[in-house]
Structure 1
Amino acid sequence: MYTRVVRLPDAEDVSRVVARRLLDRVVALQAAQPTVHLCLTGGDAANAMYEAFAELAESSELDATRLQLWWGDERFVPATDPMRNSLQAVSRLARTISFQAAYTHMMAAQDGRKDSHESAAEYEAELGGTTFDIMLLGIGADGHVGSIFPGHPSFEPTTRSVIGVTDSPKAPSERITLTLPTLNRSDEVWFLATGEAKAEAVAATLEYDETLPAAHVHGRVVTYWFLDEAAAGQLPAQYSCPF
C-alpha cells in the first residue's frame, strides 16, 4: 500500500490527466477481469473530469457493458434535483457512453415514502460485499469525504456499510454515504482536489490529521492524490511524483 501525489498546473490539467489515466486503467482492468467496479464521486473537479472522460471514451476500447458504477455518497433530494451527484455524473458520461441500467447503482432519491436511513439500508443490501477496483473521491475544505464530516455522528465508528445522514453541516442536510470501512474496500483510491480552498485540508490529510475523515481513507494497493498547484499550495516539495 502506497500513496502518490500528482501535482498538475491547474484544474483543467487535473480533469484531463485523470480522465485519460482513468480510461486507460479501466480498459486495462477489463482485459484482465470480467467486470470492473468503479465508485464515483461528486464535485466540480469530478464533473469536469467526467466531461473529459466522455470525450475520450467515444473512440476507445472501453466496454461499458462490463463496468459497474457505484456512488460514494448522494444528496437525498428528489430524483430530478440537479444537486444529485449521480445525475451530474451520468448526464455527462452518457453523452457518449451507454451504461447498463442494471450496472448503474444510483443511491435512492427522496420520494416521500422512505427516509435516508431506510434508503441507506437498501443500498447496503444492494452493495453486499462488493469491493471496488477504483474509488474516486473529493475532499471538502473541512476534510470531509463522501458525506462523512469531522466532529459529526457520520464520523463515528460503525459496522454499517452505508448510513443515512439527517443533519449534515453542509446543505442539503439529508444524505446517504458509504462509511469509512466501505470506502476502504477499494484497491485504488483516487482523490481529486482543485483550488486554494482545499489546500489546508489536503496538507492536513496527507500529514494524517486523524480528526479529518479523509485521513482515514486509503486504497488497499495505492492512493493517488491529483492536485492542481492551488490545492497543493501548502504541501512541501517532496509531496510530488511524475505521472
Structure 2
Amino acid sequence: MYTRVVRLETAADVSRVVAAQLLAKIIELQRTQDTVHLCLTGGNAANAMYEQFAELADGSALDASKLQLWWGNEHFVPTTDPARNSLQAISRLARTVSIKSADTHMMAAKDGRKDSQESAAEYEEELGDTRFDITLLGIGNDGHVASIFPGHPSFDPTTSRAVIGVEDSPMAPSERISLTIPTLNRGAEMWIMAAGAAKADAVRRSLEGDESIPAAHVRGRNATLWFLDAAASAGLPAQYTCTF
C-alpha cells in the first residue's frame, strides 16, 4: 500500500486531473473486470469533477454498463431535495454517461422512513460485502470525511457496523447516512480531493497521522491518493510533491 500526494495549482486543476485520471483508471479496470465498483462523494470539489468527467467521458472508451455506483454518505432528506449528494452527482454525470437505475445504488431518502438508522440498515443489506475499486472522498475543514465527524458518535474507527445513521450532525442537515471508516477502507484505492486554504490544516493533520480526526483514518487497501490545490497543500513540507 502506498500514499501519493498530488499537488496542483488551482481547484479547477484538481477537478480536471481527478476526472481525467478517474476515467483512465475505470477504462483500464474494465479491460480485465466485468464490473467496476465506484463509491462517490458529495461536495463542491466532487461536483466540479463530475462535470469534467462527463465531458471527458463523451466519446471515450468508457463502458457505463460495467459501472456500479455507490455513495459514501447522503443527507437524510426527501427524494427530490437538491441537497442529496446522489442527485447532484447523477444530474452531472447523466449528461453523457448512461447508467441504468439498477446499477445506481443511492441511499434511501427520508420519504416514508422512520429515521436515518432504518435507511442505514437498508443500505448495509444492499451493500453486502462489496469492495470498491475506487472510493472518492472530500475532506471537511474539521477533518471529517463522508458524514463521520470528529468528536461525534459517528466517529468510531473500529466499529463493526458497515453503514450508520447519523443524528445531530454538526453540519446541516442534522440527519445523514454514512459508510463507516472500516467500510470505506475495504476499497482498493482511496482518492481524496481538497481545495482551498480552509482545508490546509485538516490536510496537514491527516497526513501527519493526527488520529483525532476521521480523515487520518481512511486509506485504500492498495493506494491512497490525495489531490490538492496549492492552498490546501500549503501546510505540507516540500517532500509531499508528485504530479501526473
TM, length-normalised to structure 2: 0.98
| AA of the residue aligned to 2:154 | S
Residue 169 (structure 2) pairs with residue 164 (structure 1): no
Q: Aligned pairs, how many? A: 243
Q: In 2, Cα distance between the equivalents of 1:43 and 1:110?
A: 20
Q: In 2, Cα distance between the equivalents of 1:113 and 1:204?
A: 38
SS at match of 2:4: strand
Q: In 1, Cα distance between the equivalents of 2:175 and 2:210?
A: 26
**What's the offset of the Cα at 1:166?**
1.2
Query: For residues 116-135 of structure 1, what are the structure 2 equivalents within 5 Å?
Result: 116-135=116-135
Runs of at least 5 residues in structure 1 that lack an aligned partner in the other structure: none
**What's the offset of the Cα at 1:236?**
0.7
Runs of at least 5 residues in structure 2 that lack an aligned partner in the other structure: none
1:143 aligns with 143
Q: In 1, Cα distance between the equivalents of 2:119 and 2:41?
A: 18
SS at match of 1:113: coil
SS at match of 1:132: coil
Aligned sequence identity (%): 71
| AA of the residue aligned to 2:53 | F
| AA of the residue aligned to 1:82 | P
The answer on whether the counterparts of 2:164 and 2:180 sit within 8 Å (CA) in structure 1 is yes
1:88 aligns with 88
The answer on whether the counterparts of 2:41 and 2:137 sit within 8 Å (CA) in structure 1 is yes
| AA of the residue aligned to 2:240 | Y
The answer on whether the counterparts of 2:8 and 2:243 sit within 8 Å (CA) in structure 1 is no
SS at match of 1:154: coil
Q: In 2, Cα distance between the equivalents of 1:105 and 1:121?
A: 14
TM, length-normalised to structure 1: 0.99
| AA of the residue aligned to 1:179 | T
Q: In 1, Cα distance between the equivalents of 2:7 and 2:51?
A: 21
Superposition RMSD in Å: 0.7
SS at match of 1:224: strand
Q: In 2, Cα distance between the equivalents of 1:124 and 1:235?
A: 36
